[in-house]
Amino acid sequence: MSEEVRIIEEILYRAASVPEFSGYPTVDALLAELEALRDRHPEQLTAQRIGTSRLGEPIHLYTLTPAGEGSSAGDERLSGLLAGGVHPNEPIGSWTIVHLVRELTEDADLARRLGTVWHLVPCADPDAMRLNEGWFARPEDRETYFRNFYRPAGREQVEWTFPFSYKRAYFDAMMPETQALQRAIDLTRPDFYVPLHNAESGGAYYYLSEPAPELYGILHRLPEQLGIPLHRGEPEAGHFEELDDGIFAMGSLEAVYDWMEELGLDPVHPGAAGEASTGYARRYGSLSLIAEMPIWTHAQADDTAETQESYSALLEQESVALQEAGDILTGLLARAEEHLSMETPFLRASRSFLPTLTRAAEGHRARAAQPESRRPATVSEKHSLRGLLHMLRLRFGAIFLRAVQAEIAAGTAPAALRRVGEETEEVFSRWLAETDADESGDFQPLPVKDVVGLQYGAVLALADHCLRRRARAGSSAACRSPGPR
């Protein structure tokens, strides 16, 4: 067995050997876990404060150095940065960070072989993640998940509020949390960077900041090893280039702007924000990886058989349903506006997101008109297009419902607003029932240990890949992409 094959088998074994976890940790529990590890390993694991959230929560950057390695030795090693909670409704990375630190502090040989000084931001947006904690104990229950779901408005998302300027687009309204993550990137100048995201349903898929064919094999084997299908359906957006099955190029925000412009869509709509953290990390030539693991999977996530329906017809069909949902929710918001007295995060998110249902419908219609859409749709594309509808209307409906319920719970809701709340509850419950009926048992919750294992394995594979590239080039900068530094 060659050394390369042995390492791949070891990564697969380690990914499959992650222990059982019960749900996902709250912000307090996550930070307590890391502080306990720092108390046990003070010479290896250190922390420095890099910022403060809008509600006053300290944000720390942890640094893990292999046992027996001083700072001078660390300077010769790779720099790896992981950031959790960049989207606060995506908590799989919380356990990934904890498990990685446990493994590297308990297995000195593994830490030395990976040749990396690890930098970790456990939760980049603690205020927003606390608003999702209502479902963390029961991630397998989809009604609990959606009723306690929260995602910030686009201009309040750490991941997408880095500076950006291109054509008519300009954004520089960085939040304190974004500034903290920017500081982490500037301080660590990472050879590789992993913002810890996760998907909601379907199969596993990945994004890379540049093609890395040497990684594709193990990125395909990881979900196979853990019994998770590879996502083969609709990409998250039509502009993403597929590098290999289930592996997409991150591309650039400039390219997204041009793509939307070519489709006749407005790339500077009111909800538009800024650059992603991975785009900012490009200035250091960092190789970035995003591993998207779903909370639930379904049997058709990787079914590429052709259906009898055309892709363009499916896009048109789903655009009608998205438009209908957008009309319903924006109508309810319009009726509620004059009675809303509390500027809650839920209300700000509703004002930002509810119009996106109409924009999503417009995007579907524009893509349906493209000649390349006149082809048979695959089973996985059909299922993921329908799944997108279910996801968007349940997410946004739930966030708006929470905005109204906050007023009712505070005792500030007049009768007219309570009626809006009752109607929103009826709509949300109907959509939930339709989702359950439409999926007819296809969706199954994945064990937390398996999705954590997949993400953990992808991180190990990325570190090993960068180490090999450095060895081939004879330089610690070998993992970095050419570009501005």
- Residue-wise pLDDT for 189-220, tens only, equals 999 999 999 999 999 999 999 999 999 999 99
For residue 422, give both structure tokens. 């009752």
476 has pLDDT over 60:
no
Which one-letter DSSP state was computed for residue 373?
Answer: G
Which residues form the domain of 68?
3-298+445-473
Structure confidence at residue 257 as a pLDDT band (50, 70, 90): very high
What average pLDDT does range 111-128 have in this prediction? 97
Structure confidence at residue 281 as a pLDDT band (50, 70, 90): very high
Structure confidence at residue 71 as a pLDDT band (50, 70, 90): very low
- Residue 223: exposure state from Cβ atoms within 10 A (0-12, 13-18, ≥19): buried
- Report the Cα–Cα distance between both ends of the chain, in Å, rounded: 39
Using CA atoms in the order 105, 108, 114, 118, what is the torsion angle rounded to 10 degrees?
Answer: 30
Same domain, 11 and 156: yes
How many domains, the chain? 2
> Do 95 and 25 contact (CB within 8 A), yes or no?
yes
Q: How far apart are CA 292 and CA 215, in angstroms?
A: 15
Structure confidence at residue 170 as a pLDDT band (50, 70, 90): very high
Q: What pLDDT score was predicted for residue 58?
A: 98
269 has pLDDT over 90:
no
Q: What pLDDT score was predicted for residue 482?
A: 56
Task: Report pLDDT digits (tens) over 284-314.
Answer: 999 999 999 999 998 888 899 999 999 999 9
Domain annotation covers residue 65:
yes
Per mean pLDDT, which range of 219-223, 302-306, 345-349, 479-483 is the poorest? 479-483
Same domain, 274 and 173: yes
- Please list the alpha-helical segments (H only) found in 338-378: 345-368
Same domain, 228 and 355: no
What average pLDDT does range 368-397 have in this prediction? 92
Q: What angle do CA 476, 482, 485 make, to 5 degrees?
A: 80
457 has pLDDT over 80:
yes
Same domain, 120 and 203: yes
Spatial CA neighbour of 69 closest among 78, 82, 81: 78
CA dist 154 → 63, 255, 278 (Å): 30, 19, 16
Task: Report pLDDT digits (tens) over 21-54.
Answer: 999 999 999 999 999 999 999 999 999 999 999 9
Task: Report pLDDT digits (tens) over 125-154.
Answer: 999 999 999 999 999 999 999 999 999 999
Q: Which amino acid is at 183?
A: R
CATH number for the domain harbouring residue 79:
3.40.630.10
475 has pLDDT over 80:
no
Strand, helix or coil at 43? coil
74 has pLDDT over 60:
no
Structure confidence at residue 477 as a pLDDT band (50, 70, 90): low
Task: Report pLDDT digits (tens) over 398-431.
Answer: 999 999 999 999 999 999 999 999 999 999 999 9
3-state SS string for 55-119: CCCEEEEEEECCCCCCHHHHCCCEEEEEECCCCCCCCHHHHHHHHHHHHHHHCHHHHHHHCEEEE
> Do 130 and 347 contact (CB within 8 A), yes or no?
no
Determine how β-strand 58-64 pairs with β-strand 169-171. Answer: unpaired
> Do 114 and 460 contact (CB within 8 A), yes or no?
yes
What average pLDDT does range 180-186 have in this prediction? 98
CA 426 to chain centre: 30
Same domain, 16 and 141: yes
Same domain, 156 and 244: yes
236 has pLDDT over 70:
yes
> Do 162 and 279 contact (CB within 8 A), yes or no?
yes
64 has pLDDT over 70:
yes
- Percentage of the chain with pLDDT > 90? 82
72 has pLDDT over 50:
no
Same domain, 281 and 313: no
Same domain, 93 and 201: yes
Same domain, 121 and 259: yes
Same domain, 235 and 200: yes
Q: What pLDDT score was predicted for residue 5?
A: 83
Q: What pLDDT score was predicted for residue 441?
A: 62
What average pLDDT does range 359-386 have in this prediction? 91
